[in-house]
Structure 1
Amino acid sequence: MLLEFSIAGLLTAFVGGIASFLSPCVLPLVPGYLSYIAGGTVPIAHAGQSGATASWRALGLSGCFVAGFSIVFIALGASVTTIGRLFLAYRYELNIIAGIAIAAAGLVVMGAVKAPIWVQRYYRFNPSVNGGRPLPALFLGMAFGFGWTPCIGPVLGGILALGATSSSVSSGMLLLSVYALGLGVPFLLAALFMTTFTKRLGSLRRAGRILQIVTGIIMVVMGIAVASGQLMRFAVWLLKTFPVLGGIG
């Protein structure tokens, strides 16, 4: 299981996080969120503050935001893994159910299957606290984690299903930590290079669609591997095909 998660599972989780960032209901709202998080300083600096200083300040506050939704996702990972451990006697059946869920999520991400309306819905939070401070940024990140969970549900649900098959809570938490990393790194890069990010938003949307298809294919293959009990073989195949992955985990 360690090899499975260190190669196949963690790679899927990280790519899934990036795909979630580039999804149609997250990417267009990133500039507004970053501007609020930094107290309206992105990409404009305060009086007497250099552009570089403003960018690094925005990066720090965005780090608090990323920490907020990471806490939510890691907690979800711990919860589903704990529940999964209650059904250790039914590990075979659990793997089949989880594999089907992961593959189905992959088909939704690819656009091959239309997701139910409740999955496509998301909930916006309009916090009354002022931006530009670490604690509000942290709370806003947690609100993002809860409010956008239905929107990024297909990818997140697939990762959680994989986490439910983990043999330990720490493995499930690690899996969701890597997912949060994949979602958080683009946020941090967008904060640091806000002007460039805004100009290239259209290109990122097109790239996001391609990445969603790739992610969907990976999730379908992963789901089949989990359901058939061939996840170890899939991990070994990844190692042989992409030797650089041997340094992960």
Structure 2
Amino acid sequence: MILFLVSYLGGVFTIISPCILPVLPFVFARADRPFLKSGLPLLLGMALTFAGVATLAAVGGGWVVRANEYGRWAAIVLLALFGLTLLIPQFAERLTRPLVSLGSRLSQDASDATAQGGSVWPSFLLGIATGLLWAPCAGPILGLVLTGAALQGASATTSLLLLAYAAGAATSLGLALLIGGRVFAAMKRSLGAGEWIRRALGVAVLAGVAAIALGLDTSFLTRVSLASTASLEQSILDLAKPKPTSSVLMSNDQMAGSGAMMMSAKPAMMAKPGDLPVEGQFPSLNGAVEWLNSPPLTNEALRGKVVLVDFWTYSCINCLRALPYVRAWADKYKDQGLVVIGVHAPEFAFEKNIGNVKQATQDLGVTYPVAIDNDYAIWRAFGNQYWPAHYFIDAKGQLRHHHFGEGEYAESERVIQQLLAERNGNAMPQDVVKVSASGAEAQADMDNVKSPETYVGYDRAENFTSPGGQVKDAAASYAAPSALSLNDWGLSGNWTVSSENASLNQPGGAIAFRFHARDLHLVLGPSADGKPVRFQVLLDGKPPAADHGADIDADGNGVISGQRLYQLVRQSGAVTDHTFEIRFLDPGAQAFAFTFG
């Protein structure tokens, strides 16, 4: 119930977001008409259309996005005709073609028929057209709802959350419409300016149509809007759900069932060894698109074994740092009844490539069974919300313990020992594995991490400071920021920024980031044709020397040979603020996300 209230409030705050500006003229064009017969049907049509299209887009894939684009252009034409009829009343009388007649009917009937107590359907249809064009800025609240929908699949809850968001927007717009109607009525009575007001609204509608057609609602206004409303929305989320005591590196958290990468688990996320009540039955392992290192495993076949299920994805730094312990447990206890199963649930699209996962498991030395959960079937069966996440199953097929995030490895191993002792009927040695990991798998220096995981694609990008902001899904030239504050970053060169990454179109492009951490990692990929991309890393304008990461040399030189996480910086001395820069010598580089340790 709390999440529905949060979604509703997120919608209410759209009235102060610049992203609402292009559709305001469509709404206020009804301000001088009866609210119940004109304004309310328009807002209902807008809310229902947005909720329906957003639900389909979140779970239905690219075909929905393409279909919606056709609908948007039809709506643009329709509302442009509506604006013209407001600006030039004689225009409607001269239109004879079917489409124009429809636009005329919507504009004229919505204005005249509803005022006389007639049908509400013309206004409702105008609301549908407005709903197709409305592109609210995806701040923290809408972002977590949409991400949860994509991971959890289609559901009534998804649609109702989006409808609550749309209802909040309709509420604030409705109040503005009621107030605006009274103002317009007073102006018409006192100034006798009804015709001029009508024409001004026509100009405003056409301006709104032009802004949407030019993409201003999804580019410039989005950047302005997020700067003004994101902190307010985040405050609401923090009030609805207290901040965890550990560091959660993704903003899309468990309220929407979305995935979050975790540095360490908070106490409520684990049980104490020795106190392992039954938490439920072993959820189903059905739904994997492929199994690696093993034929498909079932719950029935695993009965009598102690099972550790590890949810991971191969470019997740938190998963990589937990992996040495999971490998060690699999080796140490495999002859005593432990079966480790890695469930690979992708975060980025390239992690759905089975060839990439096969290569990663080989490179990372993962020899235990891995279920490739590209459709999130096992993820949903467990109700999982985090990478990494460990679930411990006893020999009777009962879920006895869980742990989310990094850390507490000795406690997790003692859980394994206790469950094996129960299975085998004898006590287990209490010694625990000692791991000495290197590269990206080495444990983080959390006392010195002051930079958050940062995504490059526009869906979740934060603190981007190149002049002009990000341009969505189109090639654009970027300039490096003149100065970077801590955790600010920017692009230079010609890039195409998509929802989850930025792709370099021409050689010589760069990314700069002001950070504070011992380690800096960047998830990168080569060009679309797989051709390697050469790059050089600089720290404060100089080669990193002794502070270079595992994937570059002391001069900062490296090569992107595959889609994975690259360790680019490991400071050897005292950890301080630094400006990181990566310069790409070849085109085609794809950058996804920064992580720190």
- TM-score norm. by structure 2 comes to 0.25
Matches within 5 A, 1:48-87: 66=35, 69=38, 71-84=40-53, 85-87=55-57
The CA deviation at 1:231 is: 0.4
Counterpart of 2:130, as a letter, is I
Deviations 1:35-58 (A, max 9, x none): xxxxxxxxxxxxxxxxxxxxxxxx
Task: Measure the CA separation in 2 of the matches of 1:248 and 1:220.
Answer: 29
Task: Measure the CA separation in 1 of the matches of 2:76 and 2:114.
Answer: 31
Matched, 1:149 2:123: yes
The 3-state SS of whatever aligns with 1:92 is: helix
RMSD: 4.5
Matches within 5 A, 1:7-46: 7-21=17-31
The 3-state SS of whatever aligns with 1:111 is: helix
Task: Measure the CA separation in 2 of the matches of 1:239 and 1:208.
Answer: 32
The 3-state SS of whatever aligns with 2:29 is: helix
2:38–2:123: 8 Å Cα contact kept in structure 1? Answer: no
Q: In the superposition, relative to structure 1, how do residues 234 and 105 fare at CA in structure 2: closer, same or farther (>3 Å)? A: farther
Deviations 1:173-214 (A, max 9, x none): 3444454445432323356x4xx633433x232133133223
The CA deviation at 1:67 is: 5.6
Task: Measure the CA separation in 1 of the matches of 2:224 and 2:29.
Answer: 23
The structure carrying a bigger helix percent of its residues is 1
Q: In the superposition, relative to structure 1, how do residues 7 and 185 fare at CA in structure 2: closer, same or farther (>3 Å)? A: same
Matched, 1:217 2:207: yes
Seq. identity, %: 8
* Residue 113 (structure 2) aligned to one of 118, 124, 140: 124
The CA deviation at 1:161 is: 0.8
1:239–1:246: 8 Å Cα contact kept in structure 2? Answer: yes
The 3-state SS of whatever aligns with 2:21 is: helix
Structure 1 residue aligned with 2:84: 111
Q: In the superposition, relative to structure 1, how do residues 238 and 124 fare at CA in structure 2: closer, same or farther (>3 Å)? A: same
The CA deviation at 1:100 is: 1.5
The CA deviation at 1:93 is: 1.1
Matched, 1:160 2:134: no
1:18–1:186: 8 Å Cα contact kept in structure 2? Answer: yes
Task: Measure the CA separation in 1 of the matches of 2:173 and 2:206.
Answer: 15
For these two proteins, the number of residue pairs brought into alignment is 179
Structure 2 residue aligned with 1:92: 65
Task: Measure the CA separation in 1 of the matches of 2:44 and 2:175.
Answer: 14
Q: In the superposition, relative to structure 1, how do residues 211 and 72 fare at CA in structure 2: closer, same or farther (>3 Å)? A: closer
1:81–1:163: 8 Å Cα contact kept in structure 2? Answer: yes
Q: In the superposition, relative to structure 1, how do residues 248 and 235 fare at CA in structure 2: closer, same or farther (>3 Å)? A: farther
The CA deviation at 1:96 is: 1.9
Matched, 1:207 2:197: yes
Task: Measure the CA separation in 1 of the matches of 2:65 and 2:114.
Answer: 40
Q: In the superposition, relative to structure 1, how do residues 233 and 92 fare at CA in structure 2: closer, same or farther (>3 Å)? A: farther
Deviations 1:102-139 (A, max 9, x none): 43244324429966223323273698xxxxxxxxxxxx
1:70–1:177: 8 Å Cα contact kept in structure 2? Answer: no
2:76–2:133: 8 Å Cα contact kept in structure 1? Answer: no
- Runs of 4+ more than 6 Å apart: 245-249
The CA deviation at 1:218 is: 2.1
Any unmatched runs of 5+ in structure 1?
A: 22-26, 31-64, 128-139
Any unmatched runs of 5+ in structure 2?
A: 1-9, 86-90, 137-141, 147-161, 234-597
1:225–1:231: 8 Å Cα contact kept in structure 2? Answer: yes
The CA deviation at 1:159 is: 1.6
Task: Measure the CA separation in 2 of the matches of 1:15 and 1:180.
Answer: 13
Matched, 1:236 2:210: no
The CA deviation at 1:91 is: 4.3
Larger Rg: 2
The CA deviation at 1:80 is: 1.6
Structure 1 residue aligned with 2:164: 170
Deviations 1:64-97 (A, max 9, x none): x636655434432343234312353234314422
Q: In the superposition, relative to structure 1, how do residues 218 and 82 fare at CA in structure 2: closer, same or farther (>3 Å)? A: closer
Q: In the superposition, relative to structure 1, how do residues 102 and 147 fare at CA in structure 2: closer, same or farther (>3 Å)? A: closer
Task: Measure the CA separation in 2 of the matches of 1:247 and 1:185.
Answer: 28
Q: In the superposition, relative to structure 1, how do residues 72 and 207 fare at CA in structure 2: closer, same or farther (>3 Å)? A: closer
The CA deviation at 1:171 is: 3.2
Task: Measure the CA separation in 1 of the matches of 2:19 and 2:203.
Answer: 18
The structure carrying a bigger strand percent of its residues is 2
* Residue 187 (structure 1) aligned to one of 158, 168, 181: 181
Q: In the superposition, relative to structure 1, how do residues 20 and 126 fare at CA in structure 2: closer, same or farther (>3 Å)? A: closer
1:102–1:220: 8 Å Cα contact kept in structure 2? Answer: no
1:15–1:215: 8 Å Cα contact kept in structure 2? Answer: yes
2:17–2:225: 8 Å Cα contact kept in structure 1? Answer: yes
Task: Measure the CA separation in 1 of the matches of 2:232 and 2:205.
Answer: 19
The 3-state SS of whatever aligns with 1:211 is: helix
